[in-house]
Amino acid sequence: MPWIGFVFLMGHMSVNHIHRQFISRPDKVDITGVQMVLIMKLTAFCWNVQDGRLPQKDLADFQRERALTQIPSLLDYVGYVLFFPSLFAGPAFDFVDYRRWLETTMFELPPGTDPASAPKTRKKRKIPQSHTPATIKAVIGLLWILLFLKFSEWYNAELVLGDQYMKYGFLRRVWLLEMLGFVTRMKYYGVWHLTEGACILSGMGYKGVNVKTGKVDWNRLQNVNPWGIESAQNSRAYLENWNMNTNNWLRNYMYLRVTPQGKKPGFRASLATFATSAFWHGFYPGYYLSFVLAAFLQTVAKSKYFSHLQNLARAKLNLRLPSSRPSLFPNTGRPASHPVQNLLRHLLLPRDPNRFLLHHSTVRPSQPPLISPRLGSSLLLRSPGNRRIRSFLRLSCQTMARSAAEEEKPLRTAAAERSQGAPASGNAE
């Protein structure tokens, strides 16, 4: 039943996606946004009912928590589907959360909790007072929308698609593209903060009392983390902070459902999940290019072979110059490094704030010098750069090897002369 409901709902929404894409008129009412939210709720409901009919031993922990052993009443079902604060733009949630909110069991303190730490309520209401966090979310959402309205006058699609854009310099074009993406995300930040504030005001955003701070957490239905997105260091962190509740829906009702029981999800599950996300968004080619590519990126990032290459590159790049070279940091007590060596690290390895220095604390005195003419070829096999970067790496490695050989040559010559009993090289008086 869940897959039948999934195919029917996605097929019905696809008709409206195609109609919207071909009409492309802003003055027409578009219902696909509401349908996207309803699909998350309805498909999750189908899976919850299915899990309620299966033996408990065959269910995972998240399935047991959300399983529905009894079909709810029609009024409760309609109230869940048409829950107004999240109807038009989300966030979506499971029926179990809605029922706990409806019965106010969501706001009960866990066993063993001090009653003095209970949040304040008004009169006989069981829902804690939430006007302050809801107002904060509303103000932040309105601020993002005002910023979007202002910055969209300077950075918009017409500017990038116009003839003047190609007349700008390279750096300015990159800046315009980056700002266009940031301005486009602003409107989503604003809308999702407003809907989250509405859910907090209704009490649905209640997550419980924080044990450490003793304050109420209202981030149960948090849908976006702007700082986490703008400062993300990899694709996984970027996706985890964007449209969080949709990520939960895709993980619980697609990624884990297409994986056979007892097996670990792999590339097929990732590809099916991202393809579903693209199909759920619509039929513009950019959706499929970005989401399918994201499946490959996440699979590569999680693969053991990629981790092995990173560790091997780290071992190759933990180089130590001969002791005859003066130290760049004589007072630190750490081995010296070379600027070219540092550049190679930052080109080939992911950024690590603990390694953002011209020297590495991982190099031990017992490690022998690893400078070799073959280092260039071994590094080029792992280089993600283009031809210019590869040529630069080859020349840099060769320069480092020649420099090391020239510094060691006088030492070797002096050692050879001493072994033969000859005087040291120099002018005799």
For 217, list phi and psi in degrees, rounded to 5: -95, 130
Of residues 356 and 226, more confidence is placed in: 226
Comparing 360 with 85, which gets the higher pLDDT? 85
3-state secondary structure of 226: helix
Q: What's the rounded Cα separation, in Å, for the pair 361 and 378?
A: 23
**Average pLDDT of the residues in 220-232:** 93
Spell out the domain ranges in the chain.
1-103, 304-419
Q: Residue 30 — pLDDT band, cuts 50, 70, 90?
A: confident
The pLDDT assigned to 248 comes to 93
What is the percentage of the chain residues whose pLDDT exceeds 90? 45
Residue 215 has a pLDDT of 84
What's the confidence (pLDDT) of residue 110?
75
The shares of helix, strand and coil residues in the chain, as percent rounded to the nearest 5, are: 60, 0, 35
pLDDT of residue 378: 45
Of the listed ranges 145-159, 262-276, 361-375, the one predicted with least confidence: 361-375
Q: What is the pLDDT of residues 57-68, one digit of tens each?
A: 888 888 999 999
When pLDDT is cut at 50, 70 and 90, the band that residue 372 belongs to is very low
| Residue 7 pLDDT | 93
Over the chain, what is the mean pLDDT?
78
pLDDT of residue 124: 77
Phi/psi for 343 (5° steps) reads -65, -40
Phi/psi of residue 284, nearest 5 degrees: -70, 140
Q: Per residue in 399-425, pLDDT tens?
A: 666 666 666 667 667 666 666 654 444
Tell which wins on pLDDT, 397 or 123.
123
DSSP 252-291: IIIITTSSPTTS---HHHHHHHHHHHHHHH-S-HHHHHHH
pTM exceeds 0.85 for this model: no
Residue range 181-212, pLDDT digits in tens = 999 999 999 999 999 999 999 999 999 888 78
State the pLDDT confidence band at 153, using cuts at 50, 70 and 90: very high
pLDDT in the model for residue 35? 94
Higher pLDDT, 116 or 267: 267
In this predicted structure, the answer to whether residue 161 has a pLDDT above a threshold of 50 is yes
Locate 43 and state its tokens: 């498909």
Query: What pLDDT is stored for residue 238 in this prediction?
Result: 87
Cis status, amide bond into 91, omega within 30 of 0 = yes
Q: How confident is the model at residue 325 (pLDDT cuts 50, 70, 90)?
A: very low
Mean pLDDT of 319-344: 42
Helix orientation angle between 170-202 and 131-151, rounded to the nearest 10 degrees: 150
Nearest to 46 by CA among 11, 14, 88, 8: 8
Catalytic residue among 281, 308, 338, 346: 281
Least confident of 48-52, 100-104, 131-135, 214-218: 214-218
In the predicted structure, residue 48 carries a pLDDT above the cut 90: yes
Q: What sign has the CA pseudo-torsion 217, 223, 228, 230?
A: negative
Lowest pLDDT segment from 12-16, 140-144, 161-165, 331-335 = 331-335
Structure confidence by residue, pLDDT tens digits, 233-245: 888 888 889 999 9
SS3 242: strand
Q: Is 19 an active-site residue?
A: no
Residue with tokens 């509303």, as numbered in its chain: 138
Q: Please report which helix (H) or strand (E) contains residue 209, including its range.
A: strand 208-209
pLDDT tens digits, one per residue of 74-118 = 999 999 999 999 999 989 999 999 999 999 998 887 776 777 777
**Cα–Cα nearest to 180, from 158, 202, 196, 164:** 158
**pLDDT score of 299:** 79
The answer to whether residue 358 scores a pLDDT higher than 50 is no
Report whether pLDDT(146) > 80.
yes
- Above 50 in pLDDT, residue 138? yes
What angle (nearest 5°) sits at the alpha carbon of residue 256, between those of residues 251 and 259? Answer: 145
pLDDT value of residue 183: 95
Q: What is the mean pLDDT of residues 126-135?
A: 90
Q: How many CB atoms are closer than 10 A to CB 164?
A: 8
Confidence of residue 342 (pLDDT cuts 50, 70, 90): low
